[in-house]
Amino acid sequence: MLEPGSTIGILGGGQLGRMLAMAAAQLGYRCHIYAPQKDCVAAEVSASFTSAEWHDREALAAFAQGCEVITYEFENVPTEPLLALPADLLAPGPRALEVAQDRVREKRFVENLGGRPAPFAAVDHDSDLVPALERIGTPGILKTRRDGYDGKGQWTITGAADANGIRVPHTGAVYERKVAFECEFSVVMARGRDGAARFWDSTRNRHDDGILAHCELPPPAIVNAQVGAARDLAEKVATALGYVGVLTLEFFATEDGPVFNEMAPRVHNSGHWTIEGAVTSQFENHIRAICGLPLGDTGSVAHRMVMDNLIGPDALDIRRHCSDPTAHVHLYGKGEARAGRKMGHVTRVG
């Protein structure tokens, strides 16, 4: 167990790192942020900040020497430089990143554990695309095999004609058939160093233009009927990875049961409501897990709650958001409010 006053290293400087650092401070820990950007919102609430590239081995080694444990706030941290760090320093371990960073590997990994993704095919070259459409069927979505988030790096394909002009990235892509679903939901869980697992209630999630916009509890009946199977898969994933921390799996609720969409080896946007809406938030339990502390109660404090992301130029109207006395407003301290950029979120409980 890490004693209060120890330093937690966080790879990445975005809003998830910011909220992790705030939760860590509440438990008496100091945070050191490592991120390539010079100006990052996580550094504003942390004790230390190193701005250096991911492949700067000297800077990364110096950063690691001052940390008792290191975690990450997003899954696209390159794994190769992390392998030079002591194996017991990183939580979750690098294997979770290796699986989550490659969409084809991720889907095969989940299949091997008994999960069911949408029908898919690897598309490594331009010449692979049309055969993939013929084998998997349309309509579907072509996604970059690596990187891409919030709807970026995706192409909707309704028929073979849509494939004309598409150039497959050099890192490859995956084509998956669109799934007929009633709604989307996620399983957010925490796993401690002792293997203990805790789950938060699953929200119904709505995406606008590929970006999570809205989460709500309680979810519809179909989610409640399928969440048990989804949790079983999430725990199998966590166990197979030797996972420590918060892990999220996203699903489609369909007539035939839950269909796996993707995983995130980190705290997740669909768990932001837990800050006010659960006995212990996802951020606090992540810190507890990586520091070797007992996990906190994940029960919800009210039967109904909603979380809305604040996206784009209208997001910073704090007076309007605070005019609702039930609103818990979180602004992330970002600068320019661009279209499609998450600037904060609002949670309403009860």
- Tell me whether residue 178 is annotated as binding: yes
- Tell me whether residue 80 is annotated as binding: no
CA 240 to chain CA centroid, nearest Å: 18
- Tell me whether residue 179 is annotated as binding: yes
The CA angle 182-188-193, to the nearest 5 degrees, is: 155
Residue 131: cis peptide before it, omega within 30 degrees of 0: no
- Tell me whether residue 262 is annotated as binding: yes
- Tell me whether residue 103 is annotated as binding: yes
Q: Which residues contact 84 (CB under 8 A, 6 or more apart)?
A: 57, 60, 61
- Tell me whether residue 66 is annotated as binding: no
- Tell me whether residue 261 is annotated as binding: yes
Angle of the 282-290 helix axis to the 15-26 helix axis, nearest 10: 70
- Tell me whether residue 332 is annotated as binding: no
- Tell me whether residue 30 is annotated as binding: no
- Tell me whether residue 98 is annotated as binding: no
- Tell me whether residue 143 is annotated as binding: yes
- Tell me whether residue 134 is annotated as binding: no
Contacts of 98-106 with CB under 8 Å at 24 or more apart are 99/241, 99/263, 99/265, 100/75, 100/262, 100/263, 100/264, 100/265, 101/75, 101/76, 101/146, 102/145, 102/146, 103/143, 103/144, 103/145, 103/146, 103/174, 103/262, 104/145, 104/172, 104/174, 106/262, 106/263
Which letter does DSSP use for residue 278 in this model?
Answer: B
Q: How far apart (Å, rounded) are the C-alpha atoms in residues 264 and 162?
A: 29
Binding-site residues, in ranges, read 103, 143, 148-154, 176-179, 184, 207, 261-262
Binding-site residues for ATP, in ranges, read 103, 143, 148-154, 176-179, 184, 207, 261-262
